Amino acid sequence: MKVNETIIKSVRCVFVLIWFHGYLAVKRSPFSIANFVLTPLSILFFIYIFGGARAATYGLIGGVLSVTVSSSIIVETDAAFARIVLRIQDMFVASPVAPAEYAVGLALSELMNGIVGIALFLILLVRQAHTSAFGLSMVLASLFLVWACVTSLGFLISSFARDVRDLWVYSPIITILLSFVPPVYYPISVLPSFVRPLAFLSPTTYAAQVMRITSGLATGNAQVYLGALSLYTLVLVLLASKRVKWRTS
C-alpha cells in the first residue's frame, strides 16, 4: 500500500511539472512548436526535390531524430535557468519532490515542444517505409533512448553553468553536432571508412542505423545498434546523476 502511494505521488509530481512547465508554456506560445519543425521540414523538402521519394526517407529519419534532439537538449538551458536565475530548484529541494521526479518531469515537459514534430515525421516515416509493427517498436525504442540520452547530456552540461551568459550557448551547438553532422540525414556509407568509427561517438548515429534498417535502407542487425545505444544512454544517465547536484548549498 505504501509503495503504491509512493508511485502515485511520483507520477502526480511528474504530471504537475509537465502541465505547468510544458503544456501551459506551449499553450501560451503555440508557435514555439514551429521552431522545432521548420528546419527539418525545409531539409526534407530539398532532399525530396533533388533525391526523390527514396531519398526522402533519409530526410524523414533525420527529421524525427533532429526534432527529438532539439526538444530534449533544451533541458540544459531551462534546468540551469531554473537553478541560477529563478531559483525554482531551491523550492523543489525544500519540498517532498525527489530529484528523479523533478528531472523526469522537467525532461518530459521540454519534450512537449517537439511532440507535434516527432509525431508528424514518425507518421510520414511509417507510411513512406511501410514499417512493420516490430520495426515501429524498434523505432520508438530508439527514439526513447535518444530522448533519455540527450536529456541526460543536457542535465550534465547544465551542471557546469555558473552564469546567465552560459545558458544559451550550448544547446544550438549540441543540436548541430548531434543532428546534422553525424550520418542522420544521410547514409553512413558516404563517409570515408576511416571516419565512420568517429560517427558512432554520436548517439543519434545508432538510432539512425536502427531506423534505416527497419525502413529497408540499410542491412544489419538493428538489435545490436539498439543495444549499443542502450549502453551509451546508461553511461550518460549515470554521469548526469553523479554530476548534477540537487542541493546547491
pLDDT, tens digit (0-9, with 9 covering 90-100), for 118-168: 999 999 999 999 999 999 999 999 999 999 999 999 888 887 777 767 677
Residue 46 lies in a domain: yes
The pLDDT-based confidence of 13 (bands split at 50, 70, 90) is confident
Residue 13 lies in a domain: yes
Q: Which of 172, 167, 139 is nearest to 57 (CA)?
A: 139
Q: How far is CA 99 from the centre of its chain?
A: 20
Largest Cα–Cα distance of the chain, in whole Å?
Answer: 60
The pLDDT-based confidence of 95 (bands split at 50, 70, 90) is low
Global confidence as pTM: 0.88
User: Is the confidence at residue 25, as pLDDT, over 60?
Assistant: yes
Q: Please, what is the average pLDDT of the chain? A: 87
User: Is the confidence at residue 63, as pLDDT, over 90?
Assistant: yes
Q: How far is CA 66 from the centre of its chain?
A: 8
Look up cell 544521410; give the residue: 186
Helical pair 38-73 and 170-179, crossing angle rounded to 10 deg:
120
Residue 249 lies in a domain: no
Residue 41 lies in a domain: yes
Q: Which of 155, 189, 188, 190 is nearest to 174 (CA)?
A: 155
Residue pair 134/220 in contact by the 8 Å Cβ criterion? no
Q: How far is CA 121 from the centre of its chain?
A: 14
Residue pair 206/232 in contact by the 8 Å Cβ criterion? yes
C-alpha cell at 126: 511509417
213 CB neighbour count, 10 Å cutoff:
20
Look at the chain and report how many structural domains it folds into.
1
How far apart CA 120 and CA 20 sit, in angstroms, is 24
Residue 204 lies in a domain: yes
127 CB neighbour count, 10 Å cutoff:
10
Give the ranges where 74-202 is alpha helix by DSSP (H): 75-84, 88-93, 99-111, 115-129, 133-158, 170-179, 196-199
Residue 107 lies in a domain: yes
The domain in which residue 47 lies consists of 2-243
33 compared with 140, residue with greater pLDDT: 140
DSSP at 219: -
How far apart CA 67 and CA 64 sit, in angstroms, is 5
